[in-house]
Amino acid sequence: MAERITIRKPDDWHLHVRDGAMLRAALPFTAANFGRAIIMPNLLPPVLTVKEAIAYRDRVVAALPEGSTFQPLMTCYLTDATDPDDVETGFREGVFTAVKMYPANATTNSAYGVTDFQRIRQVLARMEKIGMTFLIHGEEADPEIDVFDREAVFIERRLTPMLKDFPGLRIVLEHVSSREGVDFVRAHAPQLGGTITPYHLMLTRTDWLGYGNRPYMYCMPVIKRREDRDALRKAATQGESNFFLGTDSAPHPVTKKLATVGAAGLFNSPVAIESYAQVFAEENALDKLEAFASLNGPKHYRLPPNAESITLEKTVWTAPEEVKVNGPEERALIHRGGEQIQWKVVA
């Protein structure tokens, strides 16, 4: 009999599903295996207000396969001008689950992000007061800072003072990518949690750049050294309660990925829970997968875990290479597409 594991249905605490044809192409992969997902607001234009979030939520729900019970959790894109009252209204009405902060120009569609950290203090104070979670793309986008040091410098310059100034504010450092990030999240539990992507658990920058330039390993924060990857694998698989699943699955049309200036982001939702299972199996920690994938996130967000469950089996299958987005001409390539995947969701 093949090896099997049954866990509570997981949630994805960091997901980009885009809009329009891309939304319809990407969302079914997440809805198949996950109960809920934090839907990132970096559309063009971004999701700034309660009204925009309601409209986007409706489009996400409309793109769900028939009979799906998947629940999108919406977020508010923070700018220098975000109104604390609008944030509070959205939270109280059950529209916004969290606020997401992108430093301006740190990543895909972050041009409207925060340029002046003094100007967001009122929003942070309000979120602290009402118990709303704050999600951070933790990278310092200053051109003086080396791209591999962006996370560590952000932690030192921005996150450390923020935790002190708003001790009651629940924060998630999204897609933790470095040893420094892991150590910092661990040291600031439970106020601070961290999501970890499947690709930061599997790849090193040598995989990305060492044998040809592989644009399908290019994402923000960039993939780092082996030591960073190993620190992330420890954090995820040891059962520490402040680290949890966030795929950062981020599809782009192939023309945007394979351009002279290529877009950051990996479309990994078609192989996400399977990739996490592989990492946990490699670390002899399959018994910790449920905590990471299905329990720690809800605990940080103060939500109940899902009631349903899923079963994974150790069965080899080949990941699809791409999805068609808009007829045959537009497509998005899948991270690990064409590769043999070790685990499969069977129920």
Residue numbers annotated as active site: 248
Segments of 28-124 assigned E as strands:
36-39, 71-77, 96-101
In sequence order, what are the residues at sequence separation of 6 or more whose Cβ sits closer than 8 angstroms to the Cβ of residue 265?
Answer: 16, 107, 108, 219, 220, 248, 250, 251, 252
Q: Around Cβ 41, how many Cβ atoms within 10 Å?
A: 25
Binding Zn ion by CB under 5 A: which of 140, 248, 274, 290?
A: 248
Token digits of residue 81: 């001008």
Nearest distance, CB of residue 246 and Zn ion, angstroms = 8
Q: What is the x/- site pattern for ligand NCD, positions 202-241, by CB under 6 A? A: -----------------xx---------------------
What angle, rounded to 10 degrees, do the helices at 20-33 and 272-282 form?
40
Q: What is the x/- site pattern for Zn ion, positions 49-68, by CB under 5 A? A: --------------------
Nearest distance, CB of residue 139 and ligand NCD, angstroms = 8
Q: How far is CA 146 from CA 106, 110, 127, 221, in A?
A: 12, 19, 32, 12
Token digits of residue 275: 């990739």
Q: Is 151 in the site for Zn ion (CB under 5 A)?
A: no
Sheet holding 71-77, edge to edge: 12-15, 36-39, 71-77, 96-101, 133-136, 171-173, 192-196, 243-245
Q: Is 249 in the site for ligand NCD (CB under 6 A)?
A: no
Kindly tell me which of 151 and 290 has the beta carbon lying closer to ligand NCD: 151
Closest chain position to Zn ion (CB): 248
Closest chain position to ligand NCD (CB): 265
Nearest distance, CB of residue 207 and Zn ion, angstroms = 20
How far is Cα 138 from Cα 116, in angstroms, rounded to an integer?
15
Residue 109, classed as helix, strand or coil, is coil
Q: What is the x/- site pattern for ligand NCD, positions 262-301, by CB under 6 A? A: --xx------------------------------------
217 binds, among ligand NCD, Zn ion, none (CB under 5 to 8 A by kind): none
Residues 27-56 that bind ligand NCD (CB under 6 A): 42
Residues 144-183 that bind ligand NCD (CB under 6 A): none
Segments of the chain assigned E as strands:
4-8, 12-15, 36-39, 71-77, 96-101, 133-136, 171-173, 192-196, 243-245, 309-318, 322-326, 330-333, 340-345
Nearest distance, CB of residue 248 and ligand NCD, angstroms = 5
Q: Is 137 in the site for ligand NCD (CB under 6 A)?
A: yes
219 binds, among ligand NCD, Zn ion, none (CB under 5 to 8 A by kind): ligand NCD
Q: Where on the chain is the footprint of ligand NCD (CB under 6 A)?
A: 16, 42, 107-109, 137, 219-220, 248, 250, 264-265
